[in-house]
Structure 1
Amino acid sequence: MNGGYVLSGKEYGIEQESVDVSLEELYQKYRKYSFAIAYRMLGTVTDAEDVVQDCFVELEHKPLNDIQNPKAYVAKMTMNRCLNLLNSARKQRETYVGQWLPEPLGESADLPADWLERKDMISYAFLVLLEQLKPIERAVFVLREAFQYDYKDIAELLGKSESNCRQLFSRSRRILSSGESAPEAPISPNINNSSRVKLLERFTTAFLAYDVTAMLELLAEQPVFVSDGGGNVHTVMRPMVVRKGVLALLTSRRVLTVLRERDVVHTVINGEVQLAFLKDGEVRETLCLRLAPNGEHIQNFYLMVNPDKLRHIHIRTEEVSVKE
């Protein structure tokens, strides 16, 4: 498929074959596939892990020889659980304290090493964007773009007609393509892009120094700042969407001051170089930045301070502090 929203999951597409294997072999072969679907659908590592576990627990009670297409079967089980979780999560998030953001996933997360590969990552900004979609829209979009399913397979997997799936996909693309905040692509083509690293260093220097002039030069025309504390940690409760307000927030001596007391490091989060704030070697906050299309300004700030969503971010020993 062409277009700017391919989510780097082509290798996981449906294979029309029957496989006579043991449950352990199925688990080893398709667990990464199941997790890749679940994380793109749910935006949380813990829930995605639970979905994978539930799927293979169910398979323990199934006659495996009756399964004609194991990969398609795993996909359907995974997606059904994700849709159920998303439908219930929408109600739960109505009572969520503050803003809800997806759980960031570090390159060195404490997951099996082969569950996610860098080329299969979805950028944090794009994961945030997917939250605009209804569960069924997200399902169609993820299956079509991430896993290259044709509409016939999507229809069978979701219990919809092909025409309905086409309409859902078209609507999803319109939603994701609208507005100033839409990312151009799901992930940066080069996570170690030197210009991005230099911009992060400039931001860190300006932030730590409360440098209004330098910070203003880094902001896009319509920057957005969102923070998620989950009610566990005090943080900015509402999105800041005005340039003047974002500037004041980032240079205030009364807000976000704890971040300046941390060790600041560059680390890879969802496939891109981002910022992590450490205390005694442990990640206490992450700040994911999405750059404007010109690569010279910062469009979106996603600050994660909820400790429940930072359990899968760990810093390798070779990652060094950038704090001056």
Structure 2
Amino acid sequence: MEELYQNYKSYAFSIAYRMLGVVADAEDAVQDMFAELQHRDRSGIQNIKAYVAKGVTNRCLNMLNSARSRRETYIGEWLPEPVSEGYDGPEAAAERKDNLSYAFLVLLERLSPTERAVFILREAFEYDYEAIAGMVGKSGSNCRQIFSRAKRILQTEPASRLPSLRYGAVTENLLVRFTAAFTSYDVGGMLELLGEHPVLVADGGGREVHTILRPMTGRRGVTALLTSKRVMHYLREWKPSCGLLNGEPGLIFTDQGVVKCVLCLSTDSSGERIQNLYLLMDPVKLSHITVPPEPPQS
């Protein structure tokens, strides 16, 4: 059992995190699945990897169904919990090259739990429809239809606003330019960086931290918010550093070594302008973010 756990815990977590978007919940789903596996007769399991995928998927479906009502009463916007490169939990070896981008993880919130499970198992883990059918309790043809419906839902976002499925679009140079414009209240510089229809979403943890409660959209509104000397002044009191968030460059703001917030970005279809900005200030969701190391002195 210990060998099974070591071999498949990262794989199980990579499914659970994509499904739930919360590290602690994903860890709970993985632990519960392996606890059940430990107490059952495993001699009849022909494909242990598929069994692990099915077990953790079903637990995530149950958790998502119970979480939906809580998120409907959440004060402000609910965003998934990011993880940083330095986090050495169960996902440390979870196929980073296949990570969904953070922006796409946010987009998955539009799907129902079953649509999300089918989409992730098919798109990120490349299971065929018959295998997925056994995991989610549907027929293969039904899973094919669910996957098509999920893609249509995700593609209702205009192409210019649709984030890439996997990471890699945001460059460190873009972050450096954004930081310079942000810290100097440079309206012109910010306008040069933002796409045609930017969206800024903030999550302060419901009642935990005061922040904007509704998404800000449009170049004028987002620029005004990012260059305001009143609304987001506290961010400029903290130290911004570039770090990897869900496998792609993002900004981590710290105060005396304590992570205070993170900013995840995605670009428009050109890859040269910022389209989505996700600001997370919920202390609970920052608990798996590590402070980036200081660059070596030249």
- TM-score normalized by structure 1? 0.87
Match of 2:187?
Answer: 212
Residue 225 in structure 1 maps to residue 200 in structure 2:
yes
1:32 equivalent to 2:19? Answer no
Which whole-Å CA distance do the structure 1 matches of 2:74 and 2:296 have between them?
34
Deviation at 1:115, TM superposition (A): 3.7
Query: Which secondary structure does the structure 1 equivalent of 2:216 belong to?
Result: coil
Which stretch of structure 1 is more off in the superposition, 63-72 or 216-225?
63-72
Aligned residue number for residue 14 of structure 1: none
How many angstroms apart in 2 are the aligned matches of 1:75 and 1:305?
32
Change (3 A) 1:145 1:117: closer
Runs of 4+ in 1 over 4 A off after TM superposition: none
**283, 287, 295: which is aligned to 1:311?**
287
Q: Name 1:172's counterpart in structure 2.
A: 150
DSSP-derived class of the 1:56 partner: helix
Q: CA deviation at 1:114?
A: 4.2
Task: Give the length in aligned residue pairs.
Answer: 294
Structure 2 counterpart of 1:185, which letter? L
Partner of 1:186: 166
Shift of 1:121: 2.1
- Give unpaired runs (5+ residues) of structure 1: 1-22
Deviation at 1:29, TM superposition (A): 1.1
SS at match of 1:68: coil
Residue 75 (1) aligns with residue 53 (2): yes
112 and 79 in structure 1: CA distance in 2 versus 1, 3 angstrom threshold: closer
**One-letter identity of the residue aligned with 1:76:** K
Label 1:29 to 1:316 Cα distance change in 2 as closer, same or farther (>3 A).
same
1:111 aligned residue: 89
1:283-306 CA distances to partner (integer Å, 9 max, x unpaired)? 110001111121221101000000
* Aligned amino acid, residue 247 of structure 2: G
Residue 174 of structure 1: how far off its partner (Å):
1.1
Distance 1:187 1:294 in 2: 15
- Whether the 8 Å CA contact 1:107–1:118 is kept in 2: the answer is no
CA distance in 2, matches of 1:30, 1:85: 21
SS in 2 for 1:207: helix
**Percent identical:** 57
- The equivalent position to 1:291 in structure 2, one of 241, 264, 267, is 267
Q: Distance in 2 between matches of 1:248 and 1:316?
A: 29
Cα distance in 2 for partners of 1:215, 1:199 equals: 11
Which has the larger displacement, 179-188 or 164-173?
Answer: 179-188
Distance change (3 Å), C-alpha of 1:203 and 1:114: closer
Is 2:139 the counterpart of 1:161?
A: yes
Instruction: Give the superposition deviation at 1:26.
Output: 0.9
Instruction: Judge conservation of contact 2:162–2:269 (CA < 8 Å) in 1.
Output: no
Distance verdict in 2 for CA 1:172–1:113, change over 3 Å: closer
Seen in structure 2, the aligned counterparts of structure 1 residues 44 and 158 have a Cα distance that, compared at 3 Å, is same
The TM-score normalised by the length of structure 2 is 0.94
Deviations 1:211-231 (A, max 9, x none): 111111111111000000012
Task: Classify the secondary structure of the residue corresponding to 1:203.
Answer: helix
Deviates more, 1:113-122 or 1:309-318: 113-122
